Amino acid sequence: MKRLAIYKWLACFVGLSALMGCSSTTKVALMSNGDLEGQTIPYEKADRWLVGKSCGNEQSLAQALRDATLGTRYDTLVNVTVKTSVSVFSAHNCITIIGKGLSSKTMNLKGQEG
């Protein structure tokens, strides 16, 4: 009898977990669409928090970066938190990024904005 109750509880827990989905968070130092060759990144100059998201059947980290920088003067994110979440329903699968914005166009070769 106890064993049956444990199996029912376990089946319920696994079923709810499958419906709610899972997520994972990681840190990334730098993401950019700009030209950073030969430049030192001035992390301390990053000023505005930007958020980007890519969801659906096909998620892309690059699309999340484009979403975060769309309509801003920034093309680079530093100190980025990347959160991936998956669910049974593919429309709810997402990549979300949060980071501080920088513009590679205003950096010089010594990494100072100018």
In tens, the pLDDT along 78-101 reads 999 999 988 877 777 899 999 999
The model's pTM is 0.73
The C-alpha angle with vertex 34 and arms to 99 and 40, in degrees rounded to 5, equals 80
pLDDT band at 9, cuts 50/70/90? low
How far lies 7's CA from each of 12, 17, 35, 95, in Å? 9, 15, 56, 34
Which of 59-63, 65-69, 101-105 shows the lowest mean pLDDT across its residues? 101-105
Which of 8-12, 24-28, 34-38, 95-99 shows the lowest mean pLDDT across its residues? 8-12
Q: Can you say whether the dihedral through the CA atoms of 13, 19, 20, 23 is positive or negative?
A: positive
Q: Give the mean pLDDT of 47-72.
A: 92
Whether residue 2 has pLDDT greater than 70: no
Q: Give the mean pLDDT of 16-38.
A: 79
